[in-house]
Structure 1
Amino acid sequence: MRKLCFIVPYFGEMPNYFQLFLNSCASNENYNWLIFTDSTKKYSYPKNVKKIYMKFSTLKELIQSKFDFPIKLTSPKKLCDYKPAFGYIFEDYIKGYDYWGHCDLDTIMGKLDDFIPQLLKKKYDKIFTLGHFILYKNNLENNRRFMKRYRGVYLFKKSFTTDNITVFDENYQNDTNVNSIFIDDNAKVYQGEFSFNVKVIPTRFIRIVYNNRLKKPITCQIPKEVLIVHTSEGLFELYIENNKLKGKEFMYIHLQQRLMRVHMSSQQGVYTFSIIPNGFYKLNAIPQDIFEFKKVRKRTLNIHRIRLTFKWKLLKLKNLIKTNIRRI
């Protein structure tokens, strides 16, 4: 197995299910994680996840030292645009690794060995295109490829000199991102995906897949009754089709903008649990038939859509007020 390390800078309070994220990492002993954070809360870190305490101001100084122009980085949220540069910024931390990557903390990892080794054998320079999970070949040229021109423009410099989020890290409804640079430079890029990427706004779990040709997310057709289960053997979607219980394995699940409750102990060593649209529940075993499936699949009050709608309207109002104040 080639050595692979994920770089994850995160500042502020960790997600309330962070220990479950760590537990899912522990199931993947062939992979390492470096988490740069200012969090002082106690967690049970597995041996393949290393916490590196760092203040946000210190990270900003480190990033600035790598560039000969003044960068804009006033908020940790802006770090998403810097993800393609992590191999360059943190190069002293990833020596000896064949690949490095970045992933988000609103994810739960499945069994990475069921998906990644087959891609590493093909020696891609870049694997995947969505910012919540991307891998890069770790060498001097590849780690600096993000700095190359695209259509006469240095996209990284344009992104790093504004406080606005430019979505430089992923191929999402734009072509002014790092993926475009790699393809334009004739790098070898894998643009498929193996994730259960949850659509943001619906309450129930609906998987979306990004279509790189159309440059937009495509909604997958899935049954209404879906249960996601995690074990030390992987992450699985369970569903009923033709009166039979069926399953499909995924590399990880991405729970973007989901308020998730942990209805179980999340201590180190807890690997088997179910994931429903607003929470995690302990499982003793994976359901083996429709009766067990329906017994495990809980229906709970979920105000996800209402909460998001209110949140977005409030944000829109705040931005409108700021704009009007500037005009006065």
Structure 2
Amino acid sequence: MKIRIILPYFGQFNNYFEYWIESCGQNSKIDFLIMTDQEIPKNHPKNITFVYTTLNELKKKFENKLKLKINLERPYKLCDYKAYYGFLFSEYLEGFDFWGYCDCDLIFGDIQKFLTKEILEKYDKILRTGHLSVIRNKKEINENFLKYDTYKMVVTSPAIYGYDEAVNGYHLGFAGELLENGYRFLDEKSWIADIDFRYYPFYDVSQERIPCVFVYDKGHVYKITRNNGRINQEEMMYVHLQKRKMDVNKQTSNKKYIIFPNRVDCFDEKLLDDESFWEKISEEKESYFDSKQEIRANRKRDMIRFLHEPKKLESFMYRVKKR
């Protein structure tokens, strides 16, 4: 089955972008479409298509498709448009069985080891996350969101709603709307290593707080943990390095390397047996995350959402209930 993953990205790519590109290239049976205002890398893998455009040009394209005056002043707001890409980029999806969206603050492993033929045949939307989701390419699925008024609020407000990742609530979100209309949804957290940005050590948010590191080896990503001196290894679909500023050893091959807080470096088997290495990467740093700043940012976001929310009473009651 043919899959195309879409990534609009504006502004400078992160400093480990070449490693992301390499991990895409190793998934040669999956097509990646990148729309950007940055210089297109030379000699990129054949399964990656670059389209040069600007955020303003993309905004005009979306307005023409949606017949609405939208809010898309900052690239980060694209998070709220991901669920609509099947409709907004329909001309780029002809001949594909599935489409999806992703981020580039991650490193892919062997995607199709997890997205098996059986999984693709059974489900219409696979995974909940904004950093990677895959959706069946059918007109009725791609346009399902038009049955709801939620999208009008989402695309006209400057607030970030996380609509692409929502499943339930007084506004259902992308997956919730699909489920309500009888489509099949699979969310498999165990496939993904989603690193918690609130801590300096690498903790996978879906599991216990056990420090881990990652080894990339020619198209495969392995999560490595250590318990009582014993090394445990688990293959993952990808590792998501959300909100991390990474240092990169420029001598590191993009074919095989190790990822640990907060560095991409040459792989050395001896590191994994080194007690001092594990002690160092497990150290907590009290000043690493400013929780008060995060709370202030979340409150500001919630206030902006509330101001643009047509169902203000339902919005308020839902927040009270959640607390």
Under TM normalisation by the shorter chain, which class is it? 0.7 to 0.9
Q: Could you say which residue in structure 1 is the equivalent of 2:318? A: none
1:204 paired residue among 186, 201, 204: 201
> CA 1:158–1:117 in 2, change beyond 3 Å: closer, same or farther?
same
> CA 1:312–1:51 in 2, change beyond 3 Å: closer, same or farther?
farther
**Count of matched residue pairs:** 300
Kindly indicate whether the alpha-carbon contact (under 8 Å) linking 1:20 and 1:266 is maintained by their aligned counterparts in 2.
Answer: no
Give the helix-richer structure, 1 or 2: 2
Equivalent residues in 2 for 1:31-180, closer than 5 Å: 31-40=30-39, 42=41, 44-118=43-117, 120-149=119-148, 154-171=149-166, 174=169, 176=171, 177-180=173-176
Gaps of 5+ in 1: 210-219, 324-328
Kindly indicate whether the alpha-carbon contact (under 8 Å) linking 1:148 and 1:181 is maintained by their aligned counterparts in 2.
Answer: no
Root-mean-square deviation (CA, aligned residues, Å) is 3.0
Kindly indicate whether the alpha-carbon contact (under 8 Å) linking 1:278 and 1:302 is maintained by their aligned counterparts in 2.
Answer: no
State the alpha-carbon separation in 1 of the partners of residues 24 and 45 from structure 2. Answer: 8
Q: Could you say which residue in structure 2 is the equivalent of 1:214? A: none
> CA 1:30–1:202 in 2, change beyond 3 Å: closer, same or farther?
same
TM-score of the aligned structures, taking structure 2 as reference length: 0.83
> CA 1:271–1:312 in 2, change beyond 3 Å: closer, same or farther?
farther
Q: Which moved more, 1:61-70 or 1:304-313?
A: 304-313
- Render the CA deviation track for 1:101-146: whole Å, top value 9, x for unaligned: 0011111001112101245443311111111111110111111112
Kindly indicate whether the alpha-carbon contact (under 8 Å) linking 2:10 and 2:38 is maintained by their aligned counterparts in 1.
Answer: yes
Kindly indicate whether the alpha-carbon contact (under 8 Å) linking 1:245 and 1:289 is maintained by their aligned counterparts in 2.
Answer: no
Kindly indicate whether the alpha-carbon contact (under 8 Å) linking 1:24 and 1:108 is maintained by their aligned counterparts in 2.
Answer: yes
> CA 1:61–1:289 in 2, change beyond 3 Å: closer, same or farther?
closer
State the alpha-carbon separation in 2 of the partners of residues 241 and 295 from structure 1. Answer: 14
Kindly indicate whether the alpha-carbon contact (under 8 Å) linking 2:195 and 2:204 is maintained by their aligned counterparts in 1.
Answer: yes
**Tell me, what secondary structure is at the counterpart of 2:161?**
coil
**Tell me, what secondary structure is at the counterpart of 2:84?**
helix
State the identity as a percent. 26
TM-score of the aligned structures, taking structure 1 as reference length: 0.82
Gaps of 5+ in 2: 305-323
Kindly indicate whether the alpha-carbon contact (under 8 Å) linking 1:276 and 1:298 is maintained by their aligned counterparts in 2.
Answer: no
**Tell me, what secondary structure is at the counterpart of 1:47?**
coil
Q: Is 2:216 the partner of 1:230?
A: yes
State the alpha-carbon separation in 2 of the partners of residues 172 and 266 from structure 1. Answer: 40
* Shift of residue 260, structure 1, vs aligned partner: 0.6
Kindly indicate whether the alpha-carbon contact (under 8 Å) linking 2:163 and 2:174 is maintained by their aligned counterparts in 1.
Answer: yes
> CA 1:246–1:280 in 2, change beyond 3 Å: closer, same or farther?
same
